[in-house]
Amino acid sequence: MLEKDYFSILNLPKKYDVCKTNLDKNYITLSKTTKDPALLNEAYTTLKDDYKRANLFLDLNKKNGDKISADFLNYIIDLEEKIEKSDFDSLKFYKNLLENKIKECKTNYNDKSFLKKWKYFLRLEKFVEEKMEEYE
């Protein structure tokens, strides 16, 4: 079975940093002539999302990483509990903290341990945003 190569489908170089302009342009051009629009849409949505693209990039390069440590999981649980009890100003602090953690993961996208952490930080960031909406 052939693996899906989303980079080739959209005529883009196989690298993490994708030019979003070229991605959009190639998608629009190819959408007019493709015989498999579902595959093209899947490729486009995957490459447009930083986290999904990082996962794909690591899968293509077959890099393995360590498992998530118990210390990190305890940190995540502790952070989630603090977020749960936070007022609006504290939520802004945690949103900024998580944005920085995600930025660090993006910088280290080629390290699978950061990619695994990224998933947790994205989930917590969404949790913070939901909590902030409760104050609006």
Q: Taking the CB of residue 26, how many other CB atoms lie within 10 A of it?
A: 19
Which pLDDT does position 61 carry in this prediction? 60
The pLDDT assigned to 80 comes to: 95
How high is the pLDDT of residue 101? 97
What is the per-residue pLDDT for 113?
84
| pLDDT given for residue 48 in this prediction | 94
Distances (CA, A) of 15 to 92, 106, 130: 33, 13, 33
Burial 72-90 (b: 16+ CB within 10 A, else e): eeeebeebeeebeebeeee
pTM value?
Answer: 0.67
Closest CA to 135 of 92, 85, 93, 88: 88
How high is the mean pLDDT in each 10-residue block of the chain (136 residues)? 73 88 95 93 93 80 65 93 95 97 92 88 96 90
Residue 60 is predicted with a pLDDT of: 62
Annotate 49-82 with DSSP letters as a single string: SHHHHHHHHHHHHT---PPPPHHHHHHHHHHHHH
DSSP string, 27-44: HHHHHTT-S-HHHHHHHH
